Amino acid sequence: MRPQGAKRSVSKKWIILTIILLLLIMLRLILPGVILKKTNKILAAFSPNYSLHIDDLRLHIFRGAYSFHGITGLMKEDQKKFLEVDTIDVSLAWRDLFKGQMNTDIVADGARFLLIKDIKKLKIPKKEEKETARSKLFPLKIERFDLHDGSITLEGYEALDEKTHFTINDINGRMTNLVPDDKNALSYFNLTAKIVDPDATLKVAGSLNSKASPLKWDFDAEMRNFHLNLMNPYFKKHMPLSFTKGTLDLYSEVISEDGKMKGYVKPFIRELDVVANKEHFKNAKHFGFELISALGNLILREKKTKSVATKMDFTFDKKFKLNTGKTLSKAIQHGFEQQLSPGIEDQYKLE
Amino acid sequence: MKNNFALFLSVLVISYACSSRPPKKNPELGKNAETAKVAPPVSTPSMEAKQLANEQETSLVTEFDFKKGSETLTTTSKKRLEELSKEALKKGKIEVIKVITWADQDYPSPKKKALSAEQVALANNRNTEIKNYLKKMYPNQDVSGKIELISMAERPSFYNKLISSDDARIKRSLETNGIPHSDSKDKTAGKKSKSIVLIKLKQ
């Protein structure tokens, strides 16, 4: 039979445990609301140009994470919505924790950003203001950022249907090593997106040295099987030209060091046809452009693969310069002498 | 921009029209003298390989082909592995080498789970061949424990998906980056008979 004293200490233990558990449950229920209210207050006031608002904050204690839901950004002047994000999940980077570092990974889902026309007129928030917002939302250093299902709408540019603004859709990307050190100075980024043609994916892979001043970066980009006839509404309006058929593959490398940029773009156009048999021409200028383009294609087209290609080298040092002579010679080379190789050449690489 | 485009096209037409010499016949051209020489094969890794390397936080990546049905490394493949190894040795000590190899068919679809036993064996044998060749590249270090082999003839197992193993993460990454599977309609980024090798250095 158990002694009386032992019974009392057991129930005391259970009472204390229950109280602690209840306190934790209450904290878990109350804390998100308290933090959310305080955070929204800061986000509403930190910038002179815009305010941010979060609908919901959830804590995920077991995996060491928290998430924001229903984030919106409004311009203060006209209450125009420039940002909408479905979810931002902030979690501990466990792989770094085992190395003795406390960093976070961020995943943003369903981010829709409107790049407003008058962005240059905006006042830049002060460094302290930016830091306040960042430290409240993301108190630990960010090691990796993932973007899923994003889009950017360019307010200054019309979409091809001329009814809406131009939008880049299905943006998915990742940026890693956002906390570089001297041994491992490069941050890496990847991006895929759809521009106009839902069957052609733009792929970008690049690196960035944020420790260098000025910033150093490079990227490789590729887009294949882009259907040129989808661009007809744009071409007809801005330069009287329309494509009956044709696909474009585009390869590009760009690097920026010491504030100067250089790179190339390699377009490969296949099965191009610019003049249909019974095409309706808007005016003589439209007809003239189409005729010249058709002749150009006919002359430069490589006979076996029926492709036109060239390599356009460029530089940008306060002014953009394109090497037109070399561009023309490469086009002729592809058509008559030696086909150009499709693909990235690895000509530029950040060390 | 449209003025530059118009000027460019006009120069093309005029240049061709003004040419008075007959075009030189290049004796190295193919049977049909009107066609240009075939483009040299691409020697740089594909965008999908570069994106995978970026996710692994390394720029040391190479890609090469196997002949259909064969697990033997070609001369070109050996050269690419040697170049990659030399570059890695110059930059530092190796942490891990990841070898990702396809059989002669695309990655199996979610319905299929794995290719035929023959194709699975082919991908595994190719991986082993690459591992053995890499061991020769580093006579002064034992790299055999640092080489991870990933076969694209099989989808990741339930266990690998659960623990989010390297095998599962890399395969998921490649699918996100656009590599087709056996049921995909668009096979543009297909990697049949290919292998991607990437080297991560110690930080």
A299 → closest Cβ in B12, B32, B178: B12
The total of other beta-carbon atoms located within 10 Å of residue A189's CB is 21
Within chain A, strands assigned E span 50-60, 65-75, 81-92, 103-115, 141-158, 165-176, 187-195, 201-209, 216-227, 245-257, 260-273, 307-309, 312-316, 320-322
For residue range A305-332, list pLDDT tens digits in order: 677 899 999 999 989 899 888 888 888 8
How far apart, in whole angstroms, are the C-alpha atoms of residue B25 and residue A230?
A: 39
For residue range A71-93, list pLDDT tens digits in order: 999 988 888 888 999 999 998 87
> What pLDDT score does B18 carry?
38
How far apart, in whole angstroms, are the C-alpha atoms of residue A134 and residue A334?
A: 51
Confidence of residue B47 (pLDDT cuts 50, 70, 90): very high
> What pLDDT score does A283 carry?
65
Overall average pLDDT of the A189-212 stretch: 91
Residues of A in contact with B188 (CB under 8 A): 224-225
At residue B19, does pLDDT exceed 50? no
Overall average pLDDT of the A211-225 stretch: 92
Q: Which domains does chain B have, with CATH numbers?
A: 47-201 (3.30.1330.60)
- Could you tell me which residue, A277 or B38, shows the higher pLDDT? B38
Phi, psi of A142 (to 5 degrees): -95, 120
For residue range A239-263, list pLDDT tens digits in order: 666 788 889 999 999 999 999 999 9
> What pLDDT score does B187 carry?
84
How far apart, in whole angstroms, are the C-alpha atoms of residue A299 and residue B35?
A: 12
DSSP state of B114: B
| Least confident residue range of A258-267, B29-38, B130-139 | B29-38
Asked whether the beta carbons of A249 and A268 are under 8 A apart, the reply is yes
CA distance A320 to chain B (A): 12
What's the length of chain A? 351
Confidence of residue B81 (pLDDT cuts 50, 70, 90): very high
How far apart, in whole angstroms, are the C-alpha atoms of residue A304 and residue B34?
A: 9
Partner B contacted by A174 (CB < 8 A)? yes
For residue range A150-159, list pLDDT tens digits in order: 998 887 766 6
> What pLDDT score does A235 carry?
75
How far apart, in whole angstroms, are the C-alpha atoms of residue A332 and residue A279?
A: 29
- Could you tell me which residue, A75 or A137, shows the higher pLDDT? A75
Partner B contacted by A202 (CB < 8 A)? no
Amino acid at B131: K
How far apart, in whole angstroms, are the C-alpha atoms of residue A117 and residue A107?
A: 28
Asked whether the beta carbons of B44 and A346 are under 8 A apart, the reply is yes
Mean pLDDT rounded to a whole number for chain A:
82
Among the listed residues B53, B25, B45, B48, the one whose alpha carbon sits nearest the alpha carbon of residue B37: B25
Helix (H) or strand (E) holding A6: helix A4-45
Confidence of residue A140 (pLDDT cuts 50, 70, 90): confident
Residues of B in contact with A189 (CB under 8 A): 54
- Could you tell me which residue, A50 or A146, shows the higher pLDDT? A146
Partner B contacted by A22 (CB < 8 A)? no
CA distance B137 to chain A (A): 24
B36 → closest Cβ in A176, A238, A302: A302
- Could you tell me which residue, A308 or A205, shows the higher pLDDT? A205
Spatial neighbors of B84 by CB under 8 A, at least 6 apart, are: B60, B61, B62, B197, B199
For residue A214, say if its preceding peptide bond is cis, omega within 30 degrees of 0. yes
Question: Which residues make beta-bridge pairs with A265?
Answer: A252, A312
Overall average pLDDT of the A118-133 stretch: 65
> What pLDDT score does A3 carry?
57
Contact A343 B42 (CB under 8 A): yes
ipTM of predicted complex:
0.79
Helix (H) or strand (E) holding A212: none
CA distance A123 to chain B (A): 31
Contact A337 B36 (CB under 8 A): yes
At residue B29, does pLDDT exceed 60? no
> What pLDDT score does B9 carry?
54
Confidence of residue B5 (pLDDT cuts 50, 70, 90): low
> What pLDDT score does A118 carry?
64
Identify the top-confidence range among A35-44, A88-97, A228-237, B161-170: A35-44
What's the length of chain B? 203
Asked whether the beta carbons of A171 and A151 are under 8 A apart, the reply is yes
Confidence of residue B30 (pLDDT cuts 50, 70, 90): very low
> What pLDDT score does B144 carry?
74
How far apart, in whole angstroms, are the C-alpha atoms of residue A305 and residue A61?
A: 59
Residues of A in contact with B57 (CB under 8 A): 176-177, 184, 186, 188
Within A196-284, strands assigned E span 201-209, 216-227, 245-257, 260-273
Percent of chain A at pLDDT exceeding 70: 78
> What pLDDT score does B51 carry?
95
